[in-house]
Amino acid sequence: MTNHSETTGSSENGDISGAAEPGQTDGTAHDGPGDEHQVTLRTPAELADALPYLLGYRPEDSIVLAALRDRDGRGRFGGRARLGIPASADDWAGAAGQLVHGLVIGSERRGVRPEQMVAYLCQEPARGETGRDVMERLRPLAQKLRVECGALDVPVVEALCISAGRFWSYCCDDQVCCPDEGVPMGLPGTSVLAAAATYAGLQVRGSLSELRARLLPGESATVEQVAALDAAATTLVSRILDAAGRSDVAEETLETAERAMRRLAEAPPVSGTPAQDLRDDQLLGYDEAAALILGLQDRTTRDRAAAWMEGDEAGPAMRLWRALARRCAGPYGEHAAAPLTLAGWVAWSTGDELEAREALAMALGADPDYLFARLLHQACNEGLDPESIRRCLREGRGGGGRTAGGASDAASNGASDGDGQSGAPAEREPAEPSSAPPPGRRRRSRSLAPANGARRRGRAQGREPGVRSVRPRTPSGSDRPGATGPGQTRSRVSGTRPTGRKDACPEGARTAERGTEGSESGSERP
């Protein structure tokens, strides 16, 4: 599976008071201006317990770095970075260098260079292994992290391995606090830090794999959904490739989506995330989902759907995009880029940055050339404010129509709102066919659907440039998106101060940086 680097938090997030000696770090949390609530982190155990609260979720198979800096005589948590642990030890040096340099350079770009680091290695034992075996096996990786940080004059003051419900310190050899057999992790939610986080409104989610499961196809729907997609492709593809038919398909797609959103909004609530997703799947028919998935491959249609991003529309839209992403099964995996990007946009627009980054990273995993996902992915990771994009979408919607590529233009042109210039390529689709691809960008020749007949018809009629054509492939790898989450409510608990934002869009689009194989996809960049 493709491995993306990930960086969370800004250099202003959180604070730590006191000396940052190995195994002894003081953390302070604030609840509001003038109203301080201190949480002190003094031992490796407390640092281990703090990890989920620093990230907003429980990392799996991950390298995590947390930057520390001094401010007014008090140490503070800065940016955090995560990268999946490469399966091959030969790739560890490269992964360590990528993560360390990315975090340090990203922090410097924000104007605050890290002065110290805390490193975490999180991995569950393989069959026949113990937690201690994992710790010893990963020791060279911990050393490479320390060397890379030392080369940049940023010492690692604590390095922890978390495995099988225990933790070990690579920096502390005191058998009293860090025995050879490891120290059991405390029960989740039972520490002082957990209580402070709850008081501050900080929600710690489950693992990233649990979050991704909401966006991945289920085995039960694969056969029926692929058959429905094949059937829909035989009729829809030729219509989409026809200028007049394309407009009709766009209106039908949006009307179908609106009906599905109303149905989801009116459904009685159920308890638990799996039950919620199952209910949504049952409310969406196979033929209906197939028509929506194929209709959203047209970028103009997708851009119009992106306007369902706030208010009463955001929740049902988010549920619909998740459900459609789960229906992109079998050879239609690449088609998931559109609903995943829409899910990422709605999540980011409503304040759920964690799901936004994951959905956008998954969209890039499905189609690395999907420019709207690249633009949003970069902007979200840069800590920019989505309001400039929302404003463009509101204006376009208020005008009674949208130009082709409107959402992508909003994402790229928003950079001009912030700094007067934009280096991001716009994902514009001309009104008339153009035979030459934009300079510097390779146009991929792909078909809308795997049906051979539809593919031949598409080639015979010529491809409308506003249609996003894709080659099917299998993807790698609360009800409302505005619910409280780490990206929405930044608790001031040990490294989670609200991030400063700029009302701007990214200065340039770049593909999510690829790391080594064999680990989860992350979603953030420094």
Give the residue extent of every domain in the chain.
Answer: 6-205, 219-461
pLDDT of residue 392: 86
- On whether the CB atoms of residues 356 and 478 are closer than 8 A, the answer is no
Q: What is the mean pLDDT of residues 365-386?
A: 91
3 state SS of 390? helix
Q: Residue 165 carries which DSSP code?
A: T
**57 CB contacts (<8 Å, ≥6 apart)?**
204, 205, 206, 207, 208, 211, 354, 486
Beta bridge partners of 8: 80
Confidence of residue 448 (pLDDT cuts 50, 70, 90): low
The two tokens of residue 21 are: 């000696």
pLDDT of residue 407: 66
pLDDT of residue 313: 94
User: Which of the pair, 242 or 27, is modelled with greater confidence?
Assistant: 242
Instruction: Report the first-to-last Cα separation within the chain, whole angstroms.
Output: 21
Average per-residue pLDDT for the chain: 74
pLDDT of residue 1: 33
pLDDT of residue 189: 60
Is 517 a residue whose pLDDT tops 50? no
- On whether the CB atoms of residues 414 and 392 are closer than 8 A, the answer is yes
Picking from 202, 82, 81, the residue whose alpha carbon sits closest to that of residue 486 is: 202
pLDDT of residue 408: 67
d(CA 135, CA 120): 11
**503 CB contacts (<8 Å, ≥6 apart)?**
384, 385, 387, 388, 417, 418
- pLDDT tens, position by position, 32-80: 333 445 566 767 887 888 888 888 888 999 999 999 887 666 667 888 8
The one-letter amino acid code at 102 reads: G
DSSP string, 216-251: S--GGGHHHHHHHHHHHHHHHHHHHTSHHHHHHHHH
Is 7 a residue whose pLDDT tops 70? no
Confidence of residue 280 (pLDDT cuts 50, 70, 90): very high
d(CA 411, CA 388): 8
- On whether the CB atoms of residues 157 and 116 are closer than 8 A, the answer is yes
User: Which of the pair, 464 or 347, is modelled with greater confidence?
Assistant: 347
Q: Residue 522 carries which DSSP code?
A: -
Q: What is the mean pLDDT of residues 241-247?
A: 87
Is 347 a residue whose pLDDT tops 80? yes
pTM over 0.75? The answer is no
Scan for tokens 């979408």, then name that residue.
Answer: 393
Region at 182 (left for phi over 0; alpha for psi -120 to 50; beta for the rest): left
pLDDT of residue 418: 40
Q: Which of 55-59, 143-147, 403-407 has the lowest mean pLDDT?
A: 403-407
The one-letter amino acid code at 259 reads: R
**Torsion angles phi and psi, residue 502, rounded to 5:** -120, 140
Is 501 a residue whose pLDDT tops 60? no
Is 216 a residue whose pLDDT tops 90? yes
User: Which of the pair, 482 or 354, is modelled with greater confidence?
Assistant: 354
For domain 6-205, the CATH architecture is 3-Layer(aba) Sandwich (3.40)
Alpha-carbon distances of 513 from 190, 246, 355, 381, rounded to whole Å: 37, 35, 18, 12
